[in-house]
Amino acid sequence: MKLYRASNYEALSRIAANLMAAQITLKPDSVIGLATGSTPIGLYDGLAAKYAAGDLDFSRVTTVNLDEYRGLPAGHEQSYSHFMHSHLFDRINLPKDRCFLPDGTCADAEAECRRYEALIESLGGVDMQLLGIGHNGHIGFNEPAEAFARDTNCVTLTRRTLEANQRFFRSIDEVPKQAFTMGIGTIMKARKILMLITGADKAEALAAAFCGPITPAMPASILQLHPDVTLVADEAALAQYHV
Ligand code: F6R
């Protein structure tokens, strides 16, 4: 694993934007796996700024997002599709028909999982997958479990994840109870992983993921087996990382 130590969130976001921009510059038709959540917002701002400055071209890029809530239409303001449009897609020249997310409204969950997995395959796989991490070590919506989920799947969210996500809704009852997510196997097939971790509240998860045993009880720990992981983390998040 390659580690970039950032002094704070701004530095982390700047480093991450530079790494993703380098990927796109070197391979303009890259397939980029994207994430939502608070962590990548600074990175998305950085990419939009590079585009605005004329330094980065997204016209040949394709994106696939890690996950989407089940039951929210794409236009819902808490859907991940809406998040991606407002934080990134609407600010850059990424063709609108080249950014893909699971369809949260699909009634047949299994069919949607198969469709999304096949879509990623048909794109030739993911060149660089962006990840954040949950407090419980989840990546995408792959929660701690008895076994690693292989392919895209529909998961029931844990109480802890519902609580963490309730800040975006009026109440916890409004947080969708299920989500579509790339599986651990889907994520592990990406040729490169770019993981961002910020804040003291993620220090325990970071240490468990990268220094602890590889176990589905800590889903991110599987990344220890990936051949090309770049971790960009700030000092607060690295507080318990001792190797
Ligand atoms: C989002 C995702 C999640 C988040 C994680 C951290 O698409 O897949 O795994 O990366 O929950 O979220 P934040 O960044 O809000 O702490």
Residue nearest to atom 12 of ligand 1 (CA): 37
pLDDT in tens, 153-198: 999 988 888 998 898 889 999 999 999 999 999 999 999 999 999 9
**173 a catalytic residue:** no
Taking the model in full, what pTM does it have? 0.97
Q: Which atom of ligand 1 is nearest to the CA of 199?
A: 16
pLDDT in tens, 45-78: 999 999 999 999 999 999 999 999 999 888 899 9
**143 a catalytic residue:** yes
Residue 226's Cα: distance from chain center in Å?
Answer: 16
b/e code 55-85 from CB counts within 10 Å (16+ = b): ebebeebbbbbbbbbbebeeeeeebbbbbbb
pLDDT number for residue 164: 85
Catalytic: which of 65, 68, 127, 138?
Answer: 138
Measured torsion, CA atoms of residues 116, 127, 230, 159, in degrees rounded to the nearest 10: -10
**Strand arrangement, sheet containing 128-131:** 2-6, 229-234, 192-197, 128-131, 31-34, 62-65, 99-100
Cα–Cα distance for residue pair 136/163, rounded to 1 Å: 12
Amino acid identity of residue 35, one-letter, is A
**136 a catalytic residue:** yes
Residue 163 near ligand 1, beta carbon < 6 Å? no
